[in-house]
Amino acid sequence: MPEPTTQPTRYRFPTSLRARLAHAAGLGERKKALPTSTGERVGDGIYRYWPTVADRTSMPPSLALEREPTVHGPASGASVVPSFARTWDGRWFATIETGEGTDLYATGEIAGPLRRNGKRTRAWNSDLPGYTDADDALYQSHPWVLGVRADGTAFGVLADTTWECAIDLADGIEFCAKGGAYQVYVIERESPEDVLRGLAELTGTIQMPARWTLGYHQCRFSYEPDARVREVAREFRERSIPCDVIWMDIDYMDRYKIFTFDPEKFPDPKGLNDDLHNQHFRAVWMIDPGPGVENDYFVWEEGTERDAWCRTWDGEVFTGAVWPPECTFPDYTRADVCEWWAGLYKDFMATGVDGVWNDMNEPALVLGGAEGNYTMPSDARHRGGLLGLPPGPHAQYHNVYGFLMVRASLEGITRANPDKRPFLLTRANYLGGHRYAATWTGDNSATWNDLHWSITMTLNLGLSGQPFVGPDIGGFTGGRGTPEMMAKWWGLGAMLPFCRGHVEKGDVHKEPWAFGPEVEATIRRALERRYRLLPYFYTLFREAHESGLPVSRPVFFADPRDPALRDEDHAFLLGSDVLVLANDVEGETPHHKVPAGIWRAFEPVPGPAALSEDAAIPELRLRGGAIVPMGPTMQWHDEKPVDPLTLVVCLDADGRATGELYEDAGEGHGHTRGEFCRQRFTAAREGDAVVVRSEVVGGDWAPTERAIEVEVLTEQGVVRGAGRSGEPVRVSL
């Protein structure tokens, strides 16, 4: 990476949360308790509280919430009620007591275990490549905690503040935020799933993604020049390794200027995209927030003409070094700036770009090593106006800078390609930002800890409202790792919602074939598994789109009343039916806690070698009472029709099972007009056979005419049968 040649204005993040909390504790005698207003009920089991009525009237509009909720009356009947306090230096506290046996989760994007009891974290978007579980803040902010009581009932607490906010789970739940009073939302329901549905009622759900986005993505910082991009794409097809997407990092740009292409390395971006499309790949290209300061550069000149940039406290245009030596930064709190930014995507997308990656949008400047991280100064100025946002300092809008950027980017991408479903990935975001972009777990490292955190971070982000998430498979930084680590990482990563391999500049190659033929074979089989399960993944994303439930879920969702499952984080559920027993430990297979009941092993990929014998491949188990749909093995998401459709059946103790399949065009917006088919499959034991039937339960489409293969999992093994769609399929036992 080029070193910045000018020193930016720097703001040093405090690096010790312990020191900050100790300081706050020292102010305890000067902490003033405030009378809590009665509050309001704003939904079924959803309540809103604020410190005082006067404070409520002065609060800015919520960005986390999709819309202003409807008030149904006073907050009567709630058992979780926050208490408020403030200190003389402007810190506002909201405290919630939790009962004995309550386990706490979520808090967004933080490394470490799934269960968050006793942890102290901080909502302050921070660029920390090579992070560890000692870091209290990362790239995104989710001031939200999910609590699960001993009896399996659950609640969630949302501190609706964009300011820096400490989240202390050492003794109950305490939010401590700067910048003014804030509202607290409490959701109380019968199960963790119902609480997440309530969160979605407040913050919205993801858009239904295009089907190609659920395939495998290959990235590097950077594939350059364009001949190297073509070479990587050709290798995937020649080696028969499934892949749908190739990514372009910043080196495609002309001297790192956003919305430009290097005239020597990428002279014909449309031609490159056309070539990728002809080989059935999609292309995702990077856009950062800060244009370089340079005359005759249209983005900088247009932004300057519009006075679009953030300014310092004394009114000067703020500049800082990112990849260009000097950048300016759009003020995304302004409606006119967002409109201009959205318009920049028209010509960019016209080159055949399929998806966009917004990076460095904390915003990140230079990395300070041992000194900490650097971003825009907290006293820099935003002028507001968008969505009724007031003018304010960067400290107020830092946590939503990336959120507002991707909101504007999504508008531009959608406007440029109105007939396509947009795909946008972001590094920085805020609670509710799943409405605009998918995400990943940032610049992780090639370590066994990071491999394990691929599970826990994906799960806790899902529990914070973001279902479309996954890690950089193989580790972004930190070297090669070991062949065992890489095989296990791809085996695991192929079962996570967002599936992308990535590595930083100057590091070793980490394409699937870079680790030798044995590891390559394991990765190929792991990705073939994913592609066979695409019908199930796509159905789960439809569920996430409708309900807000995550695609990957903690094992305790299978039985929230079982305390033994509360800290199981070497395994996870896909939806409610598939249990993934991951191999994320060096040299051994972890001991997994499996929920009570029937959970039978199944293998999606047929072949002469049983994958259960490959220690890198997670074991999959199907819940008793479930039916999972699968398609054929494919090299890309629509290489062939889903014909035959395979239904894997695991009967419950009563000899019954159910499952669903959602299908639409995989692209475009016809699904919003009823152009889809949702089928429900039922299986029942009838004498010495299992009979599988189907019915349409949603959509205007008729079921696809095709062959149906049924695999019934029994104690003795797999029993198979076949038939046609629309007809009962009888499988003799």
Q: Is 443 one of the annotated active-site residues of the chain?
A: yes
Q: How many residues does the chain have?
A: 733
- CA neighbor of 660 nearest in space, from 537, 564, 549: 537
Catalytic member of 127, 359, 411, 569? 359
Q: Are strands 500-501 and 217-218 parallel, antiparallel or unpaired?
A: parallel
The SS3 call for residue 160 is strand
Host H or E run for residue 522: helix 517-532
Is the Cβ–Cβ distance between 733 and 719 less than 8 Å?
yes
Distance CA 659, CA 673 (A): 24
- CA neighbor of 453 nearest in space, from 483, 595, 491, 445: 445
- CA neighbor of 185 nearest in space, from 62, 310, 101, 296: 62
Catalytic member of 55, 136, 362, 663? 362
Torsion of CA 591, 594, 598, 600, to 10 degrees: -40
Query: Measured between alpha carbons, how far is residue 84 from residues 36, 39, 50, 95, 509 in Å?
Result: 7, 12, 8, 6, 52
Strand segments (E) across 436-551: 438-440, 469-470, 472-473, 500-501
Residue 726's region, left for phi above 0, alpha for psi from -120 to 50, else beta, is left
Distance CA 306, CA 317 (A): 13
Is the Cβ–Cβ distance between 240 and 233 less than 8 Å?
no
Distance CA 431, CA 336 (A): 24
Phi, psi (degrees; rounded to nearest 5) at 93: -110, 140
Q: What's the sign of the alpha-carbon dihedral 235, 241, 244, 249?
A: negative
Residues in Cβ contact with 373 at an 8 Å cutoff, skipping those fewer than 6 apart: 12, 13, 126, 127, 128, 364, 367
Distance CA 67, CA 58 (A): 18
Q: Is 569 one of the annotated active-site residues of the chain?
A: no
Phi, psi (degrees; rounded to nearest 5) at 95: -120, 135
Catalytic member of 443, 520, 664, 711? 443
Q: Is 362 one of the annotated active-site residues of the chain?
A: yes
Distance CA 190, CA 199 (A): 14
For residue 27, give the DSSP letter. Answer: T
Structure tokens at 310: 């953030």
> Which residues are known to be catalytic?
359, 362, 443
